[in-house]
Chains A and B, each alone.
Chain A
Amino acid sequence: MEALNLEDIQGFVLRQYLFPVLRHFLLKVGDPAAARAMIGRLVSGDENDAPQISTAEEAPPGTTYHLHLGITYAGLVALQVKEKLPNLAFKSFAAFVEGAAPRAARVGDVGRHAPENWVGGFSTGNAHILLTLYAARADILDDYTTHLTKLFANTKAFEELWHGDGAALTEVVNGQPVPVPKVHFGYTDGISQVSIKGGPEPALPDHQQPCEPWLFVLSDDAENYYLPDPPELSRNGSFGVFKLIQQDVVGFENFLQSQKDKIDPELLAAKLMGRWRNGTPLMLSPETDSPRDGIKFDQMNDFGYVNADGSGDPRGLRCPIGAHIRRVNPRDQPVTGQGRPGGSNNSHRLVRRGMPYGPTYVPGQPDDGIERGLLGYFICSNIENQYEFVLKQWVNDGEFVGAVRMNPKCKDAIIGNNDPAESIFEIRQQDHPDPIKITGIPDFLTTKAAAYCFLPSISALKFIANLK
C-alpha cells in the first residue's frame, strides 16, 4: 500500500480544523479559460497572488485560513474539462455524474426537502464550483472573501450564485462567548471520527479497525473501484456531498417536552441520539450524563454494541438499536451490508466535516424566528455506497438490523424523513417487558440544498489549469 500523499490531498479530507468560522461559496463558471487559469492561481504556491488551497500536510504555525474547492460534474463540463479530455470517464461513479438534485429522492429528500425548494441555484445546472473558506476569525474570513471576490470579478472566472456562513456555537464563560464543539439541538459533536490507516490525525479509540485510505482518497490500491479516467485528474481526489440542512430547534425542544409524561426529556434526547447531550455515550453510561467516576474525553468513543460472542447490548437496552449514532455507524452491530457480531468495520463510512449556522439557541427561550442548521460536508470515495447507502438503508429504514425487530416504520428520529402520522421510536427497558413507544415524531430537518462534488487533488487542479 502506498503512503498517503499528504501534499497532494486537500487538507479537510484528512484533517479536522478547529477554526470557528467558515464560508461556502457556490460559483458558476464564467469564462471557462479564465476559470481554469484562476483554479491554477489557487494552487500556484504564491500567497501574494491569491489565497491557496490547503493540503493535508501539517499547516505551518500562524496559519489563519484554509481554502478548499469542489467541482460538480456540471462544473467539469462548464470548465471544458470534458471537452478537452475525450477519455474523461467516471465509470463507476454514476451518482457524481448525475448530480445531487436528480438523486434527492433516494436519500429521502422529497416534499419540502425536494430540489425545487432548494436555495441559491443548487438545483440548477449552474452549480459548478463549491469553494469552502475556513478562518481563525471573522475579520480574516472577510479579508480573504474580499480578495477572492475581486479576483473572480476582475478575471470573469466565476460568478457567485450563493454564499453561506457557518460558525461554531458558543457558550458564555466569564461573560465572554467561547466556541464549543456543539451542534444545534445541543449535542456535543465530532467525537466519533473515522480513523484512516496512515492518516495524519488518529481518531479517538473506537473498537473499530482503521479504514483503508482508498475509502476516502481515490487510489490505485482500491479494492472496489478503478480510478476514473484520466488518473491524473482522479488520483488522490475524493468525493464530497455538501448539504445545507435547516434544523427546527424550537420544534425539537418542544417535542422532547411533549413526551415528559412518558420519559424524562433529557433521557429521551439521549435515547434518540445514543449519547447524552454532553457527548457521554449511553453504552458507557446509560443512567446519567455525569457518571460518578467520570469518563475521560479519549474514552468517549471507546465502545461497541455487540461482541463477537453476541454479548453486549444486542437488544438495545442501553442504546436503542434505532438511535442516531447506532444507525449511521453500527460499529460491531450486525446489520445489512455489514458483517457479523464483533466485526468491526464496513465500507459505508463517511468523513464528516460540518459546521453549524445561526446563533446558539438556549432551550426554553422563545422562538426568535432566526434560521439555524448545519452546513454539512460528507467525504467519501463512492457517493452511492457510502452517503446514499447510509441514508437509504440505515437512516430511513427500520429493517436493517436482525437482533431486534424494529417497527418497519421506525426511522432515525433525529435525521430521518419522519412523517408524524406513522413515525415511531421504541425504547426497550431492562426492567419492563414493553418498550416505551414514542410516536408523532416530526421531521426536525429541512434540506435546503445539496451538491455532489469532486474534490480534486492539488496536482489535478494544476492539471485542469494547464488544459489547453
Chain B
Amino acid sequence: MKPESVAEETIHVYLLRVKEKLRDLPRAQVAEILTELRSHILDRACLANAGITDATVHQALDRLGPPEDLAEMYLTENLLETAGTTRSPWLVMRTLFRLALKSAWGLGIFFVSLIGYLAAIGFFVCAAAKPLYPSHVGLWWNTESHTLVGLGFIWPEPSEREVLGWSIIPLGVSLGCFMFFLTTRFARWNIRRMRRSRGAYSAGDGVGSTWWSRARSLR
C-alpha cells in the first residue's frame, strides 16, 4: 500500500470515529464538520517537510486530540445552541443529560425537568385512561377525615368517593399541557443560562466560565 493510501486510511478511521459520536447532529452539519477536519489534517500534514505521510498525519491527529473528545466538544456546543430554543422535550432532555454528567447543577436541572415531564405524561395518561377505566381513574377523597386517598390510576378501585368524575379528562389535558410548557421553559432557560456561564471550554474538560461570559452574565 502506498504511503498516501495509508495516510488516507488513517484519516478515514479518525473521521469515522468522530462521525459515530456526532450521529445526534444533522447530517449536513456533520458532513461540513468532517470536511473541515479533513482539510485541517491535510494542511497540517503538508506543513511538515516530509509531506503527507502516515507519520505526519498521526502528528496532525495528535494535535487534534482523541476523536471522541473532539466530537464531544462539537456535540455539547451544538446541542446547547439548539436546545436553548427548541420545543422538543427529547432534545432538551438529551442536552440536560449531557450537562448532568458534567456538573451537580446540571444533574439537579436534569432531575427537576425529568420530574416535570413525567408529571405532564402522568396527567395525559390519566386523561386518556379515564374512558377506558372510568372507575379506576380519578381523585378519591375521604370525606370523614378530609384526606386525599389517591389521584390518578388506582387498582383496585378505592371505596372512598371519587370527586372529579369525567372532568379529570379536560383537567388532565390542561395540567399536562401546563406542566409540559412550564418544564420546557424551565429547562430551556437553564440551558441558555449554563451555555452563557460555561463558555467554550466546558465541553471537553469541565473548566469553568470564561471571563467574558461571566462578565455578560453579571450584567
A binds B: no
Residues of B participating in the A interface, judged by any CB pair closer than 8 Å = none
